[in-house]
Amino acid sequence: NAGVTQTPKFRVLKTGQSMTLLCAQDMNHEYMYWYRQDPGMGLRLIHYSVGEGTTAKGEVPDGYNVSRLKKQNFLLGLESAAPSQTSVYFCASSYIRLLYNEQFFGPGTRLTVL
C-alpha cells in the first residue's frame, strides 16, 4: 500500500515551458486535491476533485489545469510556467465528505521556474 505518490519529486522549468505533475493514490479515495506551499506559508488549494471525471477550482487556480480521468490519478498541468509558480506542490486524497476524514498527503514536488 503506497498511499499517495507524486512524480516527479523535483523539476526545474524555464518560463513559458509546460509540464504535468502526476498524483496517484491506491486507497480508493473519492476526493483528491492539489495544494501549493510557498516559503513560510501554509498550503493553499489549487484545484480539487470529488470523483472520477469531475474537477473544480480552489483558492488559487489561475495558471493551472487538472484532469481526473481515472479515480486513482489526479494530474496537475502548467501550460506556460511563470516564476510565480515556483513552489512545493502537494497532492492529497481523502474518503468522501465525512468531516473527520483526514487528508493523506503525498511527499510533494519541488518546482522551480527560472
Partner 1 sequence: AQKITQTQPGMFVQEKEAVTLDCTYDTSDPSYGLFWYKQPSSGEMIFLIYQGSYDQQNATEGRYSLNFQKARKSANLVISASQLGDSAMYFCAMRIPYPYNNAGNMLTFGGGTRLMVKP
Q: Which residues would be at the binding site for partner 1 (CB under 8 A)?
A: 31, 33, 40-45, 48-50, 56, 58-59, 88, 90, 92, 94, 97-105, 107-108, 110
Shortest reach from residue 55's CB to partner 1, in Å: 10
Which one, 3 or 83, has the nearer CB to partner 1? 3
Shortest reach from residue 76's CB to partner 1, in Å: 15
Shortest reach from residue 1's CB to partner 1, in Å: 16
- How far is 55 from 58, CA to CA, in rounded Å? 10
Which one, 2 or 40, has the nearer CB to partner 1? 40
Residues 6+ apart with CB under 8 A from 98: none
Shortest reach from residue 75's CB to partner 1, in Å: 17
Which one, 55 or 85, has the nearer CB to partner 1? 55
- How far is 43 from 26, CA to CA, in rounded Å? 23
Write the single-letter amino acid at 79.
Answer: E
CA distances from 2 to 5, 12, 14, 23, 96 (A): 7, 26, 31, 12, 20
Neighbours of 36 (CB within 10 A): 23
Which one, 17 or 94, has the nearer CB to partner 1? 94
